[in-house]
Chains A and B, each alone.
Chain A
Amino acid sequence: MKTERKKIFLVDDDMDYLFQIKANIEKMDYEVVTAESQKDAEEKLAEFKPDLAIVDLMMENEDSGFIVSYKIKKKYPQVPVIIATAVTAETGYTFDLSSPDERQWIKADLYLDKSIRKDQLHREIRRLLKE
């Protein structure tokens, strides 16, 4: 019998990006649940437990991604969270999660650029899900 597919929670306010990533991740044979805002994400989190979450950084607010990530980690400390963003080097919004200090307040496991290739994304997901 086939085991149940793992659930990936996608949070992004860009409906096109959401549609594309959803299609890509479904091809990797995961189930995808989407949310289009910080608020939407918080509501959906009350109803289900994801196996992994990919959260956009800038939504309603510039730091919505951090807040969603923080809330996921608070409820499910073991669920890996990836923060995705379109702004990195140009704006100095750079933070890797290597120092314990940063890991503590940016409650995320990985920080990714949105233009990441499909295969790279797949690799990161598998690594975080320990597959």
Chain B
Amino acid sequence: MAKLKTLIVDDEPGIRSGINRILRNFTVGYPFMDEDFEFDLIEAATGEEAIEILDREQIDIVLLDNKLPGIDGMEVLEDINKKQMDVAVMMITSYASLELAIKATKNGAYNFSPKPFTPDELRASMENIAKHLFLKRMTRRMQQEGKSVRFQFLSVLSHELKSPLNAIEGYLKMMQDRQVGNNLEDYDKMVDRSLVRIKGMRNLIMDLLDLTKIESGKKKREIKKIDLNDVAKMAVDTMEPYAIQRNVKVHVDIQHEAYIKADTEEIEIIFNNLISNAIKYNKDNGEVFVSIKSLNGDVIIKVEDTGIGMSEEETASIFQEFVRIKNQKTRTITGSGLGLSIIKKIIDESGGEISVESKPDQGSTFTVKLPKSPVNI
């Protein structure tokens, strides 16, 4: 049970004890809240006393009478406003006028209630205030969490961008110092590695641009009728040189009805990423099976490899940004760590699903389910 500290400000003791009685055993709960709220009640007889309590304690709600012996409710409200306190104020007054209501609202009062009120009216108001406070605080927390996710992304990104620069700079310095003598061929490995790192960095930047376009929603989606067989074949052709190098055979199981309405570029990104991964993380002389099947309103795309596979723990994190499985088997394989997170974003936005099954040393199977017609358009 969460508590909302509620300050009752009224010079009439009868009103204060009346409110106290109504709210003492009253709780507020909504289905979307983790827990119910109850009200922890504090009383103040004057505006001055109210300000003193507000300065001293973390108050959530103020039930504020306007007509008070010393400074009036309006002045208390102005003080709360000036100090930017995170408080919801409900003005309660018997001399309710439109002018006062407007002034109070302008000064940040959440609600305005005339006196006398029935217990039910008060409870209804308290329900609204509790809901308002809950949502306001939840929103703020989510924004802060969003910021920290962003921050983490940037810190990993800067690490991923700086590492290749450090590596290339290191090799150049070794060459500058002629560290392994004057025989040019002895520097071949350093040149090769520098080129590999530059390529990796370029891929990272390209992936990053894709990701940014998808995330910002700026990427214009052109929905067309696409034959998935064509896209699959094209992706296989693109990856062929790499497959030949590793002697990996890629089989495509073509189906008659494999049309989908989607953005061509996005579908290409999905196929290219999955097939290139299946080759990259395969073993020499391995195989890749690509199949496309139609199931009710969806198409099911499966990309299966006979590669190095992943542990259960590894498959759990594989769709997150910058997650790359690092071990002895993957140390020479380059990748940005963004490919799968990009295709997951595309698939999520199309109302589809992606899943993976994998066994270490046996291989992985990625399964994509996409609706034949886009959902979120």
A-B pairs with CB below 8 Å: how many? Answer: 60
Query: Is A36 interfacial (CB 8 A cutoff)?
Result: yes
The residues of B that contact A95 with a CB separation of less than 8 Å are none
**Complex interface residues of chain B between 305 and 336 (CB less than 8 A to chain A):** 326-328, 331-332
Is B220 at the interface (CB under 8 A from chain A)? no
B197 at the interface (CB under 8 A from A): yes
Instruction: For A16, list chain B residues within 8 Å (CB).
Output: 167, 170-171, 193, 197
Asked whether B155 is an interface residue with its Cβ less than 8 Å from the other chain, the reply is yes
Q: Which residue of chain B is the closest to A59 with respect to CB atoms? A: B326
Q: Which A residues are CB-close (under 8 A) to B327?
A: 37, 39
Interface residues of A in 65-112 (CB under 8 A from B): 86-87, 90-93
Q: How many chain B residues touch the partner (CB < 8 A)? A: 22
> Closest B-chain residue to A58, C-beta based?
B159
Closest chain B CB from A30 CB (angstroms): 16
B22 within 8 A of A: no
B residues with a Cβ closer than 8 A to A are 151, 154-156, 158-159, 162-163, 166-167, 169-171, 174, 179, 193, 197, 326-328, 331-332
Residue pair A86, B179 in contact (C-beta under 8 Å) = no
* Contact status of A115 and B166, CB under 8 A, knowing A23-B179, A37-B326: yes
Contacts of A114 in B (CB 8 A): 162, 166
Candidates A20, A40, A58; contact of B170 at CB < 8 Å: A20
Q: A27: shortest Cβ distance to chain B, in Å?
A: 8
Instruction: Determine the residue in chain A with the shortest Cβ distance to B332.
Output: A15
Chain B neighbourhood of A17, CB < 8 A:
163, 166-167, 170
Which chain B residue lies CB-closest to A62? B156
Give every chain A residue within 8 A of B332 (Cβ-Cβ). 15
In the assembled complex, A42 has its CB within 8 A of some CB on chain B: no
Nearest-neighbour CB distance to chain A for B8, whole angstroms, equals: 44
Q: In this assembly, does A60 line the interface, its C-beta being within 8 Å of a C-beta of chain B?
A: yes
A87 touches B171 (CB 8 A): no
Q: How far is the CA of A17 from the CA of B331 in the complex (A)?
A: 13
Contacts of B159 in A (CB 8 A): 58, 86-87, 91
Q: Taking the complex as formed, is A14 at the interface, i.e. its CB lies under 8 A from any CB of chain B? A: yes
Given A23-B174, A60-B326, A93-B155: A87 in contact with B197 (beta carbons within 8 A): no
The minimal Cβ–Cβ distance linking B64 to chain A, given in whole angstroms, is 42
Q: Are B174 and A13 touching (Cβ within 8 A)? A: no
Smallest distance from the beta carbon of A84 to chain B beta carbons, Å? 10
Of the candidates B151, B163, B174, the one whose C-beta lies within 8 Å of that of A14 is B163
Q: What is the bound-complex CA distance between A14 and B324, given in angstroms?
A: 13
16 A-B residue pairings within 8 Å (CB atoms): A13-B326, A13-B331, A14-B163, A15-B332, A16-B167, A17-B167, A17-B170, A36-B328, A39-B327, A58-B159, A59-B326, A86-B158, A86-B163, A91-B151, A91-B154, A91-B155
Query: Is there contact, CB below 8 Å, between A20 and B174?
Result: yes
Residue of A nearest to B162 (CB): A86
Q: Which residues of A contact B197 (CB under 8 A)?
A: 16
Binary contact track A19-61/B, C-beta < 8 Å → 1, others 0: 1110100010000000011011000000000000000001110
Residue of B nearest to A114 (CB): B166
Report whether B331 and A87 are in contact in the complex, using a CB–CB cutoff of 8 Å.
Answer: no
Measured CA separation A21–B155 after assembly (Å): 23
CB–CB B163/A91 < 8 A? no
Chain B residues, CB < 8 A from A13: 326, 331
Min CB–CB distance B90 → chain A (angstroms): 41
Instruction: State how many angstroms separate the Cβ of B335 from the closest Cβ of chain A.
Output: 13
A36: which B residues are within 8 A, CB to CB? 328, 331
In the bound complex, residues from chain B placing their C-beta under 8 Å from that of A86 are 158-159, 162-163, 166
B167 & A20 in contact (Cβ 8 Å cutoff)? yes
A15–B200 Cα gap in the complex (Å)? 14
Point out which of B154, B163, B167, B174 has the most chain A C-beta atoms below 10 A from its C-beta. B163
Contacts of B162 in A (CB 8 A): 86-87, 114
For A39, list chain B residues within 8 Å (CB). Answer: 327
